[in-house]
Amino acid sequence: MAKRVDVAVIGAGPAGLAAAIAAREQGAENVLIIERAEQLGGLLPQCIHNGFGLVYFEQDMTGPEYEKAFMDRAVDMGVETQLETMVIDLDEKREITAVSRKHGYMKFRPGAVVLAMGCRERSRGAVGIPGTRPAGVLTAGTCQRFVNIEGYMPGSRYVVLGSGDIGMIMARRLTLEGAKVEAVVEIMPWPGGLIRNEVQCLHDFGIPLLLEHTVSFIHGEERVEGVTVCRVDAQRQPMQGTERLIPCDCLLISAGLIPENELSRRAGVALDPVTGGPVVDQDRQTSVPGIFAGGNVVQVHDLVDWVSREAEVAGRSAAVFADKGRAKRTAGIKVVPGKNVRYVVPQLISGAGDVTLHMRVKEPGLSARLDVGGVLKKKFRSVRPSEMIVLDLEGEALRKSGIKGELVVDCDTKGSG
């Protein structure tokens, strides 16, 4: 028999934990986290590097430390967890179908649901790298799991494609393990991850970063024997005559993350084609009443701290919904990405109450001037697509401005970053 649940959270990563805690704090009595893995924390247990918690705790923590802080709080607050349990269906009436070795086949009909499934990595197939199909081609996150959790090394000589944060962090990690990382290859003219990772993981270890380059061919029959690396032109197409072969036995792919929204789709949640995540309002409610979302399932964040913050909003709103049994629908203003802005989350705001806006620019630039519909203006020394911009917008200012319908966010820059 299904237990009564006020708020069900799908996923026990940083987003799921923060959402569950916030839901309890908001007064939801029965909060249940459903997690498919063997332990809580999502990917945090395998992120043994530091750099976590600088915003949230104002402390430099490792992934496991950051995870523990949230886990302890969740336990203290009486959040229930069900591990090794896979949610295989979610419908628009919020009915959850899940299965586990221990509990068998289950159904839940919670008062509200928080989606916190995180994201997945783009694979070789998704990136479309030509060549043969040997062993030794894997994503940086999978490699991280093998090395940090399972205790195995996929190879001894690596090329990393993509300068995403996990790729750069793994380049350092593998070097510390005695492996040789020949190069990190990035197709764009700028790195795909945080500057601090470029410095601390690549420069400090003498690992070359090849910007405007790509891997144009994978060689090897059984194991990877090498990759062809070449320059790309302005259209990101390989340039003939610039190819060179780099011998290696492993290719790591760190070419971007995709929010994991299969369940959201099943429930009929509307997705934003740019973020790949649900369209959410100020309360992180999706287009389906009573289904909320937070963290990387909504938009890929660069810092876990923002994941936690965003998920807290979703968790609190879910608790309110479960209590009142209806949506406090924030009909109102549509936030529209304008000049040089790729996306803004949330996509809908109420026009009342303070709201934090998350956004990314399309192109990097210096002396950036960000203009949120004339309500808020802010200057930045530089902006880059790889660094999310987080802005607090005061409800009072918004109300005074009298803006209705649309709020356009523009970003003007001088020169290139």
Partner 1 sequence: MPDLETEVLIIGAGILGAATARELSRYKTDVTVVEKRADVGWGITKANVGVVCQGRDTLEFRPEYHRTRLLWRALPLMEPLCEELEVPFIRVGGWLLIRDQVKKEKLDKLARRTESLGLGSDKYYAYSELRELEPFISPEIKGGLHDPEIAVVHPVYLTQAMMENATANGARLMLETEVTGIEAEHGGFTVRTDQGEIKARYLINAAGEWVDRIAAMLGADDFVLFPIKGQVGVLDRNCSELASSLLAVIPEEPGDMNIVVPTVEGNLLFGIQLQINRRHDRSTTEHMTRLALKNARKLIPDISDKDVINSFCGYLMFRNFEIGWHECEVAMSERVPRFINMTIGYPGVSASPGAALEVVEILQKDGLQMEPDPKFNPHRKDIPDFSKLSDKERAALVKKDPRYGHVVCRCETVTEGEIVEAVKRGATTLDGVKFRVRPGTGRCQGGFCGPRVTRIIARELGIPETEVTKAGRDSTQVPLRTKQLLEKGGRDG
In degrees, rounded to 5, the angle at the alpha carbon of residue 221 between the alpha carbons of residues 216 and 224 is 55
Using CB under 8 A, pick the residue from 93, 196, 203, 265 that binds partner 1: 265
Stretch that binds partner 1, among 59-67, 80-88, 281-289, 312-320 (CB under 8 A): 80-88
Using CB under 8 A, pick the residue from 25, 80, 84, 410 that binds partner 1: 84
- Our finding on whether 352 is near partner 1 (CB under 8 A) is no
Reported in sequence order, the residue ranges of 326-405 that DSSP labels E, i.e. its strands, are: 333-337, 341-345, 348-349, 355-361, 365-372, 376-383, 389-393
- Our finding on whether 150 is near partner 1 (CB under 8 A) is yes
Using CB under 8 A, pick the residue from 125, 241, 325, 402 that binds partner 1: 125
In whole angstroms, the minimum distance from the beta carbon of 1 to partner 1 comes to: 13
- Our finding on whether 320 is near partner 1 (CB under 8 A) is no
User: Contact, 274 vs 94, CB < 8 A?
Assistant: no
**Beta bridge partners of residue 226, listed in sequence order:** 219, 247
- Our finding on whether 126 is near partner 1 (CB under 8 A) is yes
- Our finding on whether 44 is near partner 1 (CB under 8 A) is no
The amino acid that residue 221 corresponds to is E
What tokens appear for 248 in the block?
């290696």
- Our finding on whether 157 is near partner 1 (CB under 8 A) is yes
Using CB under 8 A, pick the residue from 62, 65, 95, 146 that binds partner 1: 146
- Our finding on whether 380 is near partner 1 (CB under 8 A) is no
Sheet holding 244-247, edge to edge: 213-219, 226-231, 244-247
Query: CA separation (Å) from 134 to 112, 161, 268?
Result: 45, 16, 38
Closest CA to 283 of 23, 62, 79, 54: 23
What tokens appear for 264 in the block?
């959201």
In whole angstroms, the minimum distance from the beta carbon of 78 to partner 1 comes to: 26
- Our finding on whether 102 is near partner 1 (CB under 8 A) is yes
- Our finding on whether 128 is near partner 1 (CB under 8 A) is yes
Decide whether 182 or 281 has the Cβ nearer to partner 1: 182
Query: What residues numbered 159-178 form the site for partner 1, per CB under 8 A?
Result: 177-178
Instruction: Give Cβ neighbours of residue 389 (< 8 Å, ≥ 6 apart).
Output: 358, 359, 360, 361, 370, 380, 383
- Our finding on whether 404 is near partner 1 (CB under 8 A) is no
Query: CA separation (Å) from 45 to 20, 38, 365?
Result: 19, 11, 35
Ramachandran class of 150: left when φ > 0, alpha when ψ lies in -120 to 50, beta otherwise: alpha
- Our finding on whether 59 is near partner 1 (CB under 8 A) is no
Residues engaged in binding partner 1 (CB under 8 A): 36, 84, 86, 88, 97, 99-105, 120-121, 123-126, 128, 130-135, 138-139, 141-142, 145-147, 149-157, 177-180, 182, 216-218, 222-223, 238, 247, 262, 265
